[in-house]
Structure 1
Amino acid sequence: MAALVQQLASLAQTCFDEKQDTVSEEPFKNVLSAMNTIQAKHLNFDPSTVKVNDSAGGAPVTFIHVYKNDIFSMRIFVIKPSGRIPLHDHPGMFGLCKVIHGSVHLRSFSEVEEQGIQDTCFQSRENHSVLKSVRLHQDMIVTSSDDCCFLTPREGNFHEILPVQGMAAFLDVLAPPYNPGRDCHYYDELGNDVSASDAADESVRWLRQVPTASDYWCDRLVYKGPSIEC
């Protein structure tokens, strides 16, 4: 029988299409079900191999490349106790996140129809172009015993991930994958101080695009799990 991670990859290959921003319900459910079965042992991931160094110069996140083709990518991210995955987006992408070690605090947002902006400090075309109006989608603690979380091109597409009480690791599946023409953007949360009008929806929050955070970078480990072919 094929390794569970190979089964997951085969289902992802069938489910996702690089030219579409929608998926069929049944194939997507199959991917979610397979993702929920994945544990650290199925990837031969050993947390003790990750160097945790909170002193100056130590990478706050470790990245492990698992698999990538034109349809999807699979990666493992290990967040050190003082690290984080900053608030960012996944333009036009589906994403699945399965915690395989420890626990994480996940906050995600969905973009809403653009609102008008009153505040004069945001009036310029340049600043206006990097603002996103969003609503909170999820704010939760996720452990290795929980089902995977997922985002779509329209729901929960902006998110940030922080470890809870020590190092955490998760398997990440993105479809389509990042490439030179498709990259993520990073954001600061402005809250709901930037309002459109007195009648504006108070649940709307604002995100401002910013450069990559100076406290976020990755070192790498080699993937030692089962080989994958699609």
Structure 2
Amino acid sequence: MGMEQNGGGRKGNKEKRRQKKLSPVQRLYETCKEVFADCSPGIVPSPQNVEKLTAVLDQMTPADVGLIPNMQLFDSDRAPIITYLHLHECDRFSIGIFCLPPRSVIPLHNHPGMTVFSKLLFGKMHYKSYDWLDMNIDAANANDLQSHSNGLRLAKLQVDSQFTAPCETSILYPAHGGNMHILTAKTACAVLDVLGPPYCDPEGRHCQYYHEFPLNNFPAEGCRVVPEEEEDEYAWLMEREKPDDLYVVGVSYNGPKIAKN
């Protein structure tokens, strides 16, 4: 028994030394492989795994992925062009970085069946997010709210705040945490995103965009389930095509490399 314990200790120490030698971006990749190994659409990683991945992302810096704020990608003259740096994608998860010049906007969109971890590496960003209204609060009116003729659906505001790096990683889940969000760059910003699983049109994980309308634009429907004093916490969302003024350009990632195995 004593020999087995010593052997286990040696293995544990060896693993710790290996982890210390990994670059931050390699550690991120290895952690994602572990966290999303047994996940599928709509299946959220365990709380322990969420905490593990969040801890890695919380420590990530712009230098870890080869970025600095004064790079041409973030030049204010490029707005509204947004650049996406692709680090990795498989059927389980994807890792990428959105580079946003000042005043650029990623419009309101969803993440169907996904758990999303977002780390603001640098900059100041306004973040607004919604979840669909939980129809269990008023089952008698659920059909009315989901199917009236103008195609609107009621959503509850989750976050409407400004964040400045360094800040903690934000997490959204398939059905809560602000699955639909809009990002507005107040300064040059870089956002490191981990999606599990990634978007996939053939599997039904299509990026859907939305218009948002104040609740009082359609008061007859909204008042059925929302108390008057809480109306500012809700909005009507309506599906839309991808906005014509959204410009996202894919560019090769040239930061520290990931050894994929």
TM-score category (smaller protein): 0.7 to 0.9
| Corresponding position of 1:138 | 159
> How do 1:50-199 and structure 2 match up within 5 A?
50=73, 52=75, 54=77, 60-114=81-135, 115=142, 117=144, 123-124=148-149, 127-128=150-151, 131-155=152-176, 156-164=178-186, 166-181=187-202, 182-193=205-216, 194-195=218-219, 196=221, 198-199=223-224
Could you tell me how far 1:205 is from its partner in structure 2? 1.9
Is the deviation greater in 146-155 or in 211-220? Answer: 211-220
Could you tell me how far 1:90 is from its partner in structure 2? 0.3
| Corresponding position of 1:32 | 54
Q: Select which of 216, 224, 229 maps to 2:246.
A: 216
Say whether the 8 Å CA contact 1:97–1:173 is kept in structure 2: yes
Could you tell me how far 1:60 is from its partner in structure 2? 1.9
| Corresponding position of 2:5 | none
Could you tell me how far 1:11 is from its partner in structure 2? 1.6
Say whether the 8 Å CA contact 1:117–1:123 is kept in structure 2: yes
Deviation readout 1:103-155 (Å, 9 max, x if unpaired): 1111111112354548xxx833xx43xx3321111112122210111100011
Cα separation, 1, equivalents of 2:157 and 2:223: 21
Show structure 2 runs of 5+ residues with no match. 1-20, 136-141
Could you tell me how far 1:44 is from its partner in structure 2? 0.8
> How do 1:8-23 and structure 2 match up within 5 A?
8-16=28-36, 17-23=39-45
Q: Larger C-alpha radius of gyration, 1 or 2?
A: 2
Q: Which has the higher contact order (CA 8 A, sep 6+)?
A: 1
Q: Which amino acid aligns with 2:214?
A: G
Could you tell me how far 1:190 is from its partner in structure 2? 1.1
Is the deviation greater in 174-183 or in 46-55? Answer: 46-55
Could you tell me how far 1:7 is from its partner in structure 2? 1.3
Say whether the 8 Å CA contact 1:134–1:206 is kept in structure 2: yes
Aligned CA distance change for structure 1 residues 42 and 200 (closer, same or farther; 3 Å): same
Q: Secondary structure at the match of 1:5?
A: helix
Could you tell me how far 1:220 is from its partner in structure 2? 3.0
TM norm structure 1? 0.87
Larger helix percent: 2
TM norm structure 2? 0.77
Cα separation, 1, equivalents of 2:182 and 2:84: 16
Q: Which amino acid aligns with 1:211?
A: E
Q: Secondary structure at the match of 2:225?
A: coil
Could you tell me how far 1:13 is from its partner in structure 2? 1.7
Aligned CA distance change for structure 1 residues 45 and 24 (closer, same or farther; 3 Å): same
Q: Which amino acid aligns with 1:209?
A: E
Provide the aligned length of Structure 1 versus Structure 2: 220
| Corresponding position of 2:68 | 46
Say whether the 8 Å CA contact 1:54–1:82 is kept in structure 2: no
Say whether the 8 Å CA contact 1:70–1:176 is kept in structure 2: yes
Q: Secondary structure at the match of 2:207?
A: coil
Show structure 1 runs of 5+ residues with no match. none
Aligned CA distance change for structure 1 residues 197 and 29 (closer, same or farther; 3 Å): closer
Aligned CA distance change for structure 1 residues 186 and 10 (closer, same or farther; 3 Å): same
Could you tell me how far 1:180 is from its partner in structure 2? 2.6
In angstroms, what is the RMSD of aligned CA positions? 2.1
Q: Which amino acid aligns with 2:246?
A: Y
